[in-house]
Amino acid sequence: MKISIIGTGYVGLVSASCFAKLGHQVICVDIDKEKVDKINKSISPIYEEGLDKLFTTHKDKIKATDDYSYAIKQSDVTFICVGTPSKKDGSIDLSFVKESAKEIGKQLKQKDRWHLVVMKSTVVPGTTNDFVLPLLEEFSLKKAGEGFGLAMNPEFLKEGLAVKDFLEPDRIIIGTYDKKSGYMLKKLYANISCPKIETSLSAAEMIKYASNAFLATKISFINEIGNMCKKLGIDTYDVAEGIGLDKRIGRAFLDSGIGWGGSCFPKDVDALIAWAKENNEKTRIIESTREINEQQPLKLVTILKKYIPKLNGKTIGILGLAFKPNTDDVRESRVIPIIDQLLKEGATIKAYDPKAMENFKKLYPNINYCSSASEALNSDAVLIITKWEEFTELDFKEKIVIDGRKIEEAKKAKIYEGVCW
Ligand SMILES: NC(=O)c1ccc[n+]([C@@H]2O[C@H](COP(=O)([O-])OP(=O)(O)OC[C@H]3O[C@@H](n4cnc5c(N)ncnc54)[C@H](O)[C@@H]3O)[C@@H](O)[C@H]2O)c1
């Protein structure tokens, strides 16, 4: 099939490369000319495990452009993968979705064949039907379900494991407006073997939010339990093993630490809370999940101050800036509140991350960046923020280490303390 993908960030680019691997021709559309140029030179604009290889292997099947007309004309199905960030009040910002839906609509007007439009960006329930559909109809002068098909196909990939998640998902959710769209999407995913669930458009949207809110809640829950365990001298990871073996609970997402970040959980949790507020519904559990996550990273600074009460003038090494390993994404990384607090108390920061320093420099140009993890270790104390594999090989022996992610090797440090163990 011929596919166009609007927005070539983490989701768009991974989808494009994986669809190409599945044998489809893909045209990527982005308003960012630099990204378009890079893709056409077969350079991946983002770091994601396995993506570079996939991208270069299938480069003949992937083209990029900023021209919607070319992309829609030359394809049968269009995936909308643009960003859906938060507004200041936490509610969803649909401005990128709006622009892309308008442009797609304009191009559909020129097309004499049926075309499928698929919403892949994460959007609050009701958006595809009540916001995207009217825009497509207004600008194409065609009716949904007749002149074009409409579907909502949320993406569940995890950064760091995105390629594997896309190609071997637990399930594919296909929310449809019309039957033909469901049939087309199933055909497109025919070579991926997993349960494929057909739902309404808004159920598909809600499945994505409920999923992320639940996973975030699982982490905040174990962190709350972890804070109690620490008081009792219990290793929370033993508790996680013990409860995780219960099939009703499961072990995944029970790694206690300094909380969740990234481009999805924080904004999706906020958007769901804001949506509920607008619709006069309460979100007590989800709001607590958020609150725990705000406080958890600062526990690392509290523990640090047991050993270095006055941080003013001290140098603190930071191991890891990415919100999790195997990605260069620093959005809402839990290191951000920690660095803010350390700077407020007058500490000097020496930070190191194997992949995320360039992105972090855009947020914090004035802290010190190290060329190796060992250089960051050479500080008055070290905080472990991200569980990068290479940190397991460091020599921590003479150091003061406060660990937010449980790296066993770090326990050999002169002084070692974990956040929940
Ligand atoms: N990143 C993830 O792990 C992940 C996982 C699942 C779902 N999602 C959801 O997928 C969506 C995309 O996320 P992302 O992380 O890939 O975003 P991103 O910010 O990395 O990329 C979005 C891209 O869209 C482009 N864009 C913006 N407006 C455009 C327009 N009008 N036309 C063409 N291109 C345009 C931007 O230039 C950018 O390259 C979001 O809704 C997100 O919540 C993300």
Q: List the one residue out of 348, 356, 338, 336 whose CA is nearest residue 403.
A: 338
212 Cβ inside 6 Å of ligand 1? no
Give the model confidence (pLDDT) of 202-217 as tens digits.
999 999 999 999 999 9
**Ligand 1 mean position, distance from CA 82 (Å):** 4
Per-residue tens of pLDDT for the chain, all 421 residues: 999 999 999 999 999 999 999 999 999 999 999 999 999 998 989 888 889 899 889 999 999 999 999 999 999 999 999 999 999 999 999 999 999 999 999 999 999 999 999 999 999 999 999 999 999 999 999 999 999 999 999 999 998 899 999 999 999 999 999 999 999 999 999 999 999 999 999 999 999 999 999 999 999 999 999 999 999 999 999 999 999 999 999 999 999 999 999 989 999 999 999 999 999 999 999 999 999 999 999 999 999 999 999 999 999 999 999 999 988 999 999 999 999 999 999 999 999 999 999 999 999 999 999 999 999 999 999 999 999 999 999 999 999 999 999 999 999 999 999 999 9
Angle (CA) 222-203-167 rounded to 5° is 70
216 Cβ inside 6 Å of ligand 1? no
- Measured in Å, how far apart are the chain's first and last C-alpha atoms? 51
With contact defined as beta carbons under 8 Å apart, do 127 and 160 qualify?
no
Cα separation, 335 vs 354, whole angstroms? 15
With contact defined as beta carbons under 8 Å apart, do 27 and 3 qualify?
yes
With contact defined as beta carbons under 8 Å apart, do 54 and 18 qualify?
yes
Residue nearest to atom 10 of ligand 1 (CA): 121
Strand order in the sheet with 348-352: 368-369, 348-352, 315-319, 381-384, 400-403, 415-418
Cα separation, 171 vs 197, whole angstroms? 7
Give the model confidence (pLDDT) of 26-46 as tens digits.
999 999 999 999 999 989 898
* Beta-strand pair 2-6/25-29: parallel
SS3 letters across 267-326: HHHHHHHHHHHHCCCCCHHHHHHHHHHHHCCHHHHHHHHHHCCCCCCCEEEEECCCCCCC
**Ligand 1 mean position, distance from CA 13 (Å):** 9
> Phi-psi bin for 396: left (phi > 0), alpha (psi -120 to 50), beta?
alpha
Catalytic residue, from 28, 264, 370, 420: name it. Answer: 264
Residue nearest to atom 37 of ligand 1 (CA): 32
Q: Is the dihedral of CA 293, 294, 295, 300 positive or negative?
A: positive
Name residue, tokens 């909502």: 152
Three-state secondary structure call for residue 172 = strand
Number of helices (H) and strands (E), helices first, in the chain? Answer: 17, 14
Q: List the one residue out of 64, 130, 61, 139 whose CA is nearest residue 100.
A: 139
Report the atom number in ligand 1 closest to the C-alpha of 82.
Answer: 24
Report the atom number in ligand 1 closest to the C-alpha of 11.
Answer: 16
107 Cβ inside 6 Å of ligand 1? no
Q: Give kind and range of the element (H or E) at residue 362.
A: helix 357-363
133 Cβ inside 6 Å of ligand 1? no
Three-state secondary structure call for residue 35 = helix
CA distances from 187 to 75, 182, 184, 201 (A): 15, 9, 5, 18
**Ligand 1 mean position, distance from CA 197 (Å):** 24
* Amino acid at position 188, single letter: L
Catalytic status, residue 18: no
**Ligand 1 mean position, distance from CA 290 (Å):** 23
**Ligand 1 mean position, distance from CA 4 (Å):** 14
Give the model confidence (pLDDT) of 221-243 as tens digits.
999 999 999 999 999 999 999 99
